Chains A and B, each alone.
Chain A
Amino acid sequence: MSAWASWFLVLLYLGVQLRALPMVGLTDDDDFYISAGIAYAEWLGRAFGPGEAWSRAEIDRAFTHNHEHPPLAKYAFGLCHFVFRGWLGPIDAARVGTVLFSTLLAWVLLWMARQHLGHRRGLIAGGTAVLLLLTLPRFFFHSHVATLDVPVASLYVLAAALALKAERAAWAAWAAGAAFGLACATKLNAPFLVVPYVLFAVLVRYRRSRGADEVATSPPAGTLRLPAVPLALVAMAIMAPVVFVGTWPWLWHDTFTRLGEYVGFHLNHYGIHFLYFGTVFHQNPFAPWHAPFVMAFVTVPLATSALAGFGIAAAACRVRNRLRDRTGPDSPERREADLVLTAFLHALFAVLVVALSGGPKYGGAKLFMPFFPFWCLLAGYGVLRLLELAGDRLGLRGAAVGVFGLALVSQVGLQNKFGGYALSQYNASVNGLAGATARGFERQYYDVAFPDLVAWLNEAGPDDLKVHFLPNNWEYVRTYRWYRRAGALRSDIKVVRDVRDADWLVLTHERRFARYRNDLLVYRTRPVLREHRLDGVPLWTVLDLER
């Protein structure tokens, strides 16, 4: 029964995600990754046929696109592009790849919960976690764009889940190694999984002192006793490099040079503008350490965080008991404690790594995507414990269901309000988008080419319309080409590079760009053709430059 319910939830998750594809606009990264994915998929097609696909020249030609990032997610984008483009168009077809990764993540959460809480309890915790994840506005957005953040989160969670399973099943250790390799082959933040995993392994194994009833045994002279190393860690160490290099043909030649360039690119990553409490950060010193924690808190719907907090508190006793009894036999309580401890450590470190990295912090929540599924899992566990707190009293159990229902409705409400503008979503702790904007948070990022703006330009734009975007036009030159290619943008509408050539100007109100203030000064007298506001905050304004 619970297996059927699990599959129903996963299919529901997939269906809702697919349905929402047309609602989410192109980001500036989609252009890079979809193009690269198409090139990689074309190479894959040639690789299994006659020809020189395996030659260095051919590999370099295909994989030079976007070689700053590993290829795994891009394979998915490219393959999905070719499989689904006749049905969904070139953009949404590629983005099915991200949806599939997100759906895999939902399945992993359910599996992980059922493995460690039992089928019934696991279905409640995992199922509610999946529903909460599905209705997190920002994660929902990222689940639809052809970027690497949700794919790496998905494989990260898979590797973490298998590593946890490996505490009790040797086969899972090797699967964790492979999954970890695939995660590393997706984005550079995957290797940081090792930190919370090692911490978990130490916490559940380390003995601080020997009790009186334990016999101290010394090794024979001339030998070295090594600590017990988890098999999963060994598997990761062995398999990850093999999978990483094996799936990335770009590294098959000049391996060490190109590996050095890959690491060097990210160590010296150019700064990206980030508005945080009224200050724009784009170079060293970058935003302060608390920025990712604050961004997580103000964007995750409050009910989810409240449930996660309760879940952590409710599990504290069980985790403490588990850590005190490291050598005891396995039991449902140990498995439960392991699950919560794992989820907590990974959620914490997903954000902590970004906070303490010393590198640029930007893009709202995109740099710590693995945080969200683990946080939802803790929230789902909180729902389970709330139900169990109600005991056998029907009224209280009904109330617990009602509370979860209310939490879900509040998230659906936020989702419904922000829709394709989910990167503008903030929760009530900062009074929504209006309060966040007044406090100096970004009202949007990613230079999203909103579909509703495209539709309005099609409808209202005169023939041969020339449009310019400020303050960051060049991203829209790239993304609008995709809309034209997909037939979503009228062929006579062009995004021009020089504002002096434009008929209409689209001012996206983004304070993180230094020129925005001057653009508003210079163009505020122009006639307004259309303005889009959300929560009372202007997000874009179309101005007539001809009059």
Chain B
Amino acid sequence: MSFRFWAVAGVVSAAAVADLSIGMRSGPPPVSSAELMDGRRALEARMKRGDIAVHSPLFGVEEARHLDGIRTRPDLPAEAVRRGRRVVLLDRRDAAISGFGEPQDRLIVGPTLFVATFEPTGSAEVTVFDLTVDLGPDTMRVERPRGQTVSTCGEPRRQGGFQCLGQPEWVYAAPRTLRIGGEDRACLWAHPVTGAAVVLSIPALPAPPAGRRMVLELQGGLTDEAVRRTPGGAPVTTVAMQGGRTLGRLVVTNRSDWRRVTRVIEPGSAVELVTTTTHDGRRHYCLSARVVERSVSEGASS
């Protein structure tokens, strides 16, 4: 009887003490500026173009400021993203983000921080750029005429993505999941504008390792609802251009369809995806653009 009593009393007391320790502590202290700068340098030393940089969600604005100039995010990227992307993490040792798995490389930066690298969990094909993941305030713009920017799409939207300033509310860039060609597609909303060009930029990417090349996978379509409700709707064309040269053309007509084009692209030069239409009425257009590193032996053009 005594044993049972003390066992129960012990468990309840231990639970209470554990919570009391939470109640009485001040919590993990902010990170010093010096250690943050060390962390930034360690992060930059490990990052390659196409990598996703993640920082601790416990960073406040003062800490996040030290990473200015680096596109970082305060959360674990989705599993589907981690399958094809390398992630470099700057995190707290006392409250590390869970869900990453084992790192390939881990460096203790200081008393509070560490940097770790996580290689893609999926196949040998490595994604170095994905429009829906790497979307930033400088990714999309509206030109009218072509070559003259009338709107930059850099205003964060409540639902995610970025609104194009001075444009109708349906002109924005945001990751969406839409019903296209009878299936749910994860893509980037990029509604075209009559008489203008909606331009999406893929930054210049470094050269891949020997034996591999970079392939642009461009896919897109109109939502099934838009097709159904707009008989005779205008086609939408996205032209992939690099260095003034047309790489390929994705033409989406008013059909329930998901179209794709793949082209090899050159390193060191930005790619632009220029979307136009003759009439933008209910042209609910969604685009997917990825740049992947592939072995040279694998096909690329389609």
Q: Which residues of A contact B (CB under 8 A)?
A: 277-279, 301-303, 305-307, 310, 386, 389-391, 396, 399-400, 403, 406-407, 409-417, 426-429, 431-435, 437-440, 443, 470-472, 507, 509, 511, 513-526, 528, 531, 533-538, 541, 543
* Closest-CB distance, A532 to chain B (whole angstroms): 9
User: Is there an interface contact between A521 and B137, defined as CB atoms closer than 8 Å?
Assistant: yes
List which B15-70 residues lie within 8 A (CB) of chain A. Answer: 15-30, 56-62, 64-65, 67-68
User: Is there an interface contact between A406 and B13, defined as CB atoms closer than 8 Å?
Assistant: yes
Cα-based distance from A307 to B16 in the complex (angstroms)? 10
Residue B267 at the chain A interface, CB threshold 8 Å: no
Q: A511-B57, A515-B158, A525-B65 are in contact. Are A427 and B22 (CB under 8 A)?
A: yes
User: Is there an interface contact between A437 and B58, defined as CB atoms closer than 8 Å?
Assistant: yes
Q: A409-B20, A432-B22, A518-B137 are in contact. Are A389 and B58 (CB under 8 A)?
A: no
Q: A416-B23, A511-B57 are in contact. Are A522 and B15 (CB under 8 A)?
A: no
Binds A, one of B91-99, B203-211, B246-254, B256-264: B91-99
**Interchain Cβ contacts under 8 Å between A and B, 13 examples:** A277-B98, A278-B98, A399-B5, A399-B9, A426-B22, A428-B18, A434-B27, A438-B56, A509-B60, A511-B75, A518-B136, A528-B60, A537-B57
* Closest-CB distance, B235 to chain A (whole angstroms): 30
User: Is there an interface contact between B5 and A414, defined as CB atoms closer than 8 Å?
Assistant: no
Contacts of A517 in B (CB 8 A): 73-75
Contact with A along B136-165 (1 / 0, CB 8 A): 110000000000000000101111111000
Looking across the interface, which residue of chain A has its beta carbon closest to that of B10? Answer: A403
Shortest Cβ-Cβ A-B pairs, 6 listed: A514-B160, A413-B23, A536-B27, A536-B28, A535-B27, A302-B15
Contacts of B27 in A (CB 8 A): 432-434, 533-537
Looking across the interface, which residue of chain B has its beta carbon closest to that of A408? Answer: B16
Contacts of A389 in B (CB 8 A): 1, 4-5, 8
Q: A410-B17, A522-B137 are in contact. Are A310 and B75 (CB under 8 A)?
A: no
User: Is there an interface contact between A507 and B61, defined as CB atoms closer than 8 Å?
Assistant: yes
Residue B12 at the chain A interface, CB threshold 8 Å: yes
Q: A417-B22, A438-B92 are in contact. Are A520 and B64 (CB under 8 A)?
A: yes
- Among A513, A518, A520, contact of B162 (Cβ-Cβ < 8 Å): A518
Contacts of B74 in A (CB 8 A): 511, 516-517, 520
Looking across the interface, which residue of chain B has its beta carbon closest to that of A439? Answer: B98
Looking across the interface, which residue of chain B has its beta carbon closest to that of A301? Answer: B19
Contacts of B64 in A (CB 8 A): 520, 524
A contact face: mostly helix, strand, loop, or mixed: helix
- Among A277, A438, A472, contact of B96 (Cβ-Cβ < 8 Å): A438
Residue B297 at the chain A interface, CB threshold 8 Å: no
Cα-based distance from A301 to B17 in the complex (angstroms)? 11
User: Is there an interface contact between B20 and A518, defined as CB atoms closer than 8 Å?
Assistant: no
User: Is there an interface contact between A407 and B16, defined as CB atoms closer than 8 Å?
Assistant: yes
Q: Which of B60, B92, B158 has the most CB of A within 10 A?
A: B60
Looking across the interface, which residue of chain B has its beta carbon closest to that of A393? Answer: B2
- Among B12, B62, B94, B174, contact of A434 (Cβ-Cβ < 8 Å): B94
User: Is there an interface contact between B95 and A536, defined as CB atoms closer than 8 Å?
Assistant: yes
Cα-based distance from A443 to B4 in the complex (angstroms)? 38
User: Is there an interface contact between A515 and B68, defined as CB atoms closer than 8 Å?
Assistant: no
Contacts of A507 in B (CB 8 A): 61
Q: Which of A400, A409, A434, A507 has the most CB of B within 10 A?
A: A434
Cα-based distance from A533 to B26 in the complex (angstroms)? 10
Looking across the interface, which residue of chain B has its beta carbon closest to that of A399? Answer: B9
Q: A520-B64, A535-B22, A536-B26 are in contact. Are A390 and B5 (CB under 8 A)?
A: yes
User: Is there an interface contact between B160 and A515, defined as CB atoms closer than 8 Å?
Assistant: yes
Number of interface residues of B (CB under 8 A): 61
Cα-based distance from A488 to B261 in the complex (angstroms)? 60
Cα-based distance from A533 to B67 in the complex (angstroms)? 20
User: Is there an interface contact between A515 and B23, defined as CB atoms closer than 8 Å?
Assistant: no
Contacts of A439 in B (CB 8 A): 97-99
Cα-based distance from A525 to B76 in the complex (angstroms)? 23
Contacts of A470 in B (CB 8 A): 156
User: Is there an interface contact between A437 and B57, defined as CB atoms closer than 8 Å?
Assistant: yes
List which B150-191 residues lie within 8 A (CB) of chain A. Answer: 154, 156-162, 174
* Closest-CB distance, A204 to chain B (whole angstroms): 28
* Closest-CB distance, B73 to chain A (whole angstroms): 5
Q: A403-B9, A537-B58 are in contact. Are A302 and B16 (CB under 8 A)?
A: yes
User: Is there an interface contact between B159 and A411, defined as CB atoms closer than 8 Å?
Assistant: no
User: Is there an interface contact between A533 and B60, defined as CB atoms closer than 8 Å?
Assistant: yes
User: Is there an interface contact between B12 and A307, defined as CB atoms closer than 8 Å?
Assistant: yes
* Closest-CB distance, A396 to chain B (whole angstroms): 6
- Among A277, A411, A471, contact of B99 (Cβ-Cβ < 8 Å): A277
* Closest-CB distance, B50 to chain A (whole angstroms): 18
User: Is there an interface contact between B156 and A515, defined as CB atoms closer than 8 Å?
Assistant: yes
* Closest-CB distance, A205 to chain B (whole angstroms): 33
Contacts of B279 in A (CB 8 A): none
List which B108-134 residues lie within 8 A (CB) of chain A. Answer: none
Cα-based distance from A279 to B18 in the complex (angstroms)? 28
- Among A390, A406, A417, A526, contact of B61 (Cβ-Cβ < 8 Å): A526
Q: Which of A389, A414, A523 has the most CB of B within 10 A?
A: A389
Looking across the interface, which residue of chain B has its beta carbon closest to that of A383? Answer: B12
Looking across the interface, which residue of chain A has its beta carbon closest to that of B62? Answer: A528
- Among A410, A511, A537, A543, contact of B23 (Cβ-Cβ < 8 Å): A410
User: Is there an interface contact between B95 and A409, defined as CB atoms closer than 8 Å?
Assistant: no
User: Is there an interface contact between A438 and B22, defined as CB atoms closer than 8 Å?
Assistant: no
Q: A278-B76, A528-B61 are in contact. Are A437 and B19 (CB under 8 A)?
A: no
Q: Which of B23, B59, B60, B96 has the most CB of A within 10 A?
A: B23
User: Is there an interface contact between A524 and B28, defined as CB atoms closer than 8 Å?
Assistant: no
Query: 6 more A-B contacts (CB under 8 A) besides A389-B5, A538-B61?
Result: A303-B15, A409-B20, A437-B57, A440-B75, A518-B137, A537-B57
Looking across the interface, which residue of chain B has its beta carbon closest to that of A386? Answer: B8
User: Is there an interface contact between B15 and A305, defined as CB atoms closer than 8 Å?
Assistant: yes
* Closest-CB distance, B187 to chain A (whole angstroms): 15
Cα-based distance from A472 to B57 in the complex (angstroms)? 18
User: Is there an interface contact between B18 and A302, defined as CB atoms closer than 8 Å?
Assistant: yes
User: Is there an interface contact between A438 and B95, defined as CB atoms closer than 8 Å?
Assistant: yes
Residue B71 at the chain A interface, CB threshold 8 Å: yes
Q: A279-B78, A403-B13, A406-B17 are in contact. Are A414 and B22 (CB under 8 A)?
A: yes
Looking across the interface, which residue of chain A has its beta carbon closest to that of B18? Answer: A428
